[in-house]
Structure 1
Amino acid sequence: MTTHLVLGGVRSGKSRYAESLLAGRADVTYVAPGLIPLDDPDWRARVAAHRASRPAQWDTVESADLAALVAGDEARADDSTRGPGALLIDCLGTWMTRLIDDAGAWDSAADAAVVVRTATADLVAALRDSPLDVVVVSNEVGLGVVPAHASGRVFRDELGRLNAAVSAACDRVSLVVAGRVLDLSSAPVVGDVVPGGEHA
């Protein structure tokens, strides 16, 4: 089985590219790991448009338990006759936001780090031994100015670490920029950095 991380900025085309990697397959489960804000009509409209664009034969699961899904545990529990199949997770940014929201940890970078890194370790372990083909989408952030608010800095820092950890666990990595796809799979890998260090 293969694992593929697709990174990119807002409106870069990363989700469309990720979906194209599984085009033609009927055994795909689309995983939406974030919460939908009930008081945000614009966000609800975006989600509805996203859903409408997916192939009708794909299943959709809304869950933050990515490790169990990637390990195939929930798929086997739902339907023991179904083959291994594939997962498309979109995206890690909304997943991480949900984790920190649920823990009420936005005001503490240390608490947020514990929550995110614990869940990341579980996800990475599942990716390394997944019986499924898995495509994971994530935002590439932190290329511009430093966020003015502490919560923005927490999001930027922890998502950067999360992306690096998932990248190390995946067979392939792609970066989508302005609708163009860069294959990073064979690019040099930065050496290990002490967690919580000052390195960018």
Structure 2
Amino acid sequence: MSVLFVIGGARSGKSHHAQARMEALPGRLAFIATAQPYDAEMEERIARHQADRGPRWTTLEAPIDLPDAIAHASRSTDGVLVDCLTLWLSNLLLAEHDLDACTKDLQEAAQTCPVPLTLVANEVGLGIVPENALARKFRDEAGRMNQRIAGVADEVVLVAAGLPLTLKGS
């Protein structure tokens, strides 16, 4: 099936665009969340996003094991939305997982997903060079991950100021 990769900055409208694209499809939809509610603000943010989705959506949480969650969700729904890969990468980095191997597993999961799959990520490489080593590593790893996912995606859309710009595909 098709893989759509939606990237953009914080509050760019990328999640809204990705959700709207998925909701244009018929059938049942799965939302795979990678965020972890570490504080009250994040809990509120997650609740707000859940309220924005209607009854067609099933939500799964996959802060670490994203490829398996995609495989699981694709067996019982007609489309899968993952939001967001950048938080997933943060979770992996902080848990000291092999980022290269995890990204390779994600690429394979995307390529073998039998239903339309939309992946959302932040574009974090447009700003200044971070001052600390962990932030620089995160920025560099996010850039590498985004390149690899864009490579397997059928369509890549950059969203800025709520406006989608197609970088690859239709």
The verdict on a shared fold, with TM-score over 0.5 as the criterion, is yes
TM-score by length of 1: 0.78
So what's the TM-score if we normalise by structure 2? 0.91
Q: CA deviation at 1:178?
A: 0.8
Structure 1 residue ranges, 4+ long, deviating more than 4 angstroms after superposition: none
1:42-99 alpha-carbon deviations (Å, 9 max, x no partner): 22211111111112220000013221233x24654xxxxx4x5111000001101111
The answer for unaligned runs of 5 or more in structure 1 is 77-81, 104-111, 188-200
Whether the 8 Å contact between 1:34 and 1:97 is mirrored in structure 2 is no
Structure 2 residue 159 is the aligned partner of structure 1 residue 158: no
Name the structure 2 match of 1:133.
116
Q: Deviation digits for residues 142-181 of structure 1, max 9, x if unmatched?
A: 1111111111111100000000000001100000011111
1:30 is aligned to 31
Q: Which has the higher Rg, Structure 1 or Structure 2?
A: 1
Q: Does structure 1 residue 54 correspond to structure 2 residue 37?
A: no
Q: Sequence identity, in percent?
A: 36
Number of matched residues? Answer: 168
| Cα contact 1:174–1:183 (8 A) shared by 2 | yes
User: What letter corresponds to residue 69 of structure 2 in structure 1?
Assistant: L
5+ unaligned residues in a row in structure 2: which ranges? none
Deviation at 1:36, TM superposition (A): 1.6
CA contact 2:74–2:115 (8 Å) conserved in 1 = no
Matching residue of 2:17: 17
Structure 2 counterpart of 1:144, from 106, 110, 127: 127
What is the Cα-based RMSD across aligned positions, in Å?
A: 1.8
